[in-house]
């Protein structure tokens, strides 16, 4: 279970040598996940897996986030990790391609760290752990259908990744020995939804970390859709069915050129847009 990868017993800490992600990604990931054979538009999954490991090192108090196991080729959890590294983050929304889930996870974790740096009173470790886990249940939500398409599994159709990750965290918490307040707070960050009706049973966010995760998640998804649908020459792009509007962009000025500053008036000063 993916949750077990991020919350495991102290006896199974990572070997954080510089070659570790490369060594283990050779057999954790299929050949198609190597950078040389991945889509040119996305980083290779082995590079993304390396980023996941690196993110755990950026914690001010990294030990709680180092509870990842020492992998062995016979480890029964490897298929789950492999699915996490190869699955999309959606079927037809953002990051809807092979390795999209781990790419989205890295982006959300990096966005979360940036937002934590700009905020006070935030538990950075807890926010980062939630960011790394928030969509991990999607590893069992999608199944490959052909080469470039995906469909929902029975678990995806009947339960969904939000419930799956709660199940996984609950199972892993008995091994990780998380303090009860940390365990409950982690589940709150993962499940709280602003604006959800009371009858659904979801709680409104009561922790700043929950709002940070929500913003980091949305930014990653929107940035991915804009990257896919924007006009590379600027102006209007193509509307995606999950966007409320077609994307509009203004390219940055090419190096060595001066940005337009408005026309000169009779007094020699610039007329700028207000």
- Contact predicate 57/65, CB 8 Å: no
In a domain, 150, yes or no: yes
DSSP code for 239: -
In a domain, 44, yes or no: yes
Q: What is the pTM of this model?
A: 0.72
Give how many domains the chain has, as a whole number. 1
DSSP code for 64: G
In a domain, 74, yes or no: yes
Q: How many residues does the chain have?
A: 274
In a domain, 82, yes or no: yes
In a domain, 250, yes or no: no
- Predicted confidence (pLDDT) at residue 47 exceeds the cutoff of 70: yes
In a domain, 198, yes or no: yes
In a domain, 122, yes or no: yes
Convert the pLDDT of each residue in 204-258 to its tens digit: 999 999 999 999 999 999 999 999 999 999 999 999 999 999 999 998 875 555 5
Convert the pLDDT of each residue in 170-188 to its tens digit: 888 877 778 899 999 999 9
- Contact predicate 7/178, CB 8 Å: yes
Domain that holds residue 36: 2-235
């Amino acid at each position: 279970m993916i949750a077990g990868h991020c919350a495991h017993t102290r006896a199974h800490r990572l070997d954080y040598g510089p070659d570790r992600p490369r060594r283990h990604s050779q057999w954790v990931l299929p050949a198609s996940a190597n950078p040389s054979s991945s889509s040119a538009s996305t980083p290779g999954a082995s590079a993304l897996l390396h980023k996941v490991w690196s993110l755990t090192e950026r914690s001010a108090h990294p030990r709680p986030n180092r509870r990842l196991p020492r992998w062995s080729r016979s480890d029964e959890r490897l298929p789950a990790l492999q699915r996490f590294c190869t699955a999309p983050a959606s079927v037809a929304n953002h990051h809807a391609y092979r390795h999209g889930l781990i790419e989205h996870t890295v982006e959300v974790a990096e966005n979360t760290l940036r937002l934590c740096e700009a905020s006070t009173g935030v538990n950075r470790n807890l926010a980062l752990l939630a960011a790394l886990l928030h969509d991990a249940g999607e590893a069992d939500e999608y199944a490959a259908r052909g080469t470039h398409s995906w469909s929902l599994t029975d678990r995806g159709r009947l339960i969904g990744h939000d419930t799956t990750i709660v199940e996984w965290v609950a199972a892993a918490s008995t091994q990780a020995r998380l303090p009860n307040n940390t365990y409950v707070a982690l589940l709150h960050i993962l499940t709280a939804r602003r604006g959800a009706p009371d009858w659904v049973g979801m709680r409104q966010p009561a922790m700043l970390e929950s709002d940070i995760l929500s913003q980091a998640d949305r930014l990653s998804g929107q940035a991915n859709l804009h990257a896919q649908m924007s006009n590379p020459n600027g102006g209007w792009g193509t509307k995606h069915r999950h966007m409320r509007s077609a994307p509009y962009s203004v390219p940055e000025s090419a190096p060595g050129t001066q940005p337009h500053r408005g026309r000169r008036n009779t007094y020699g000063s610039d007329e700028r847009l207000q």
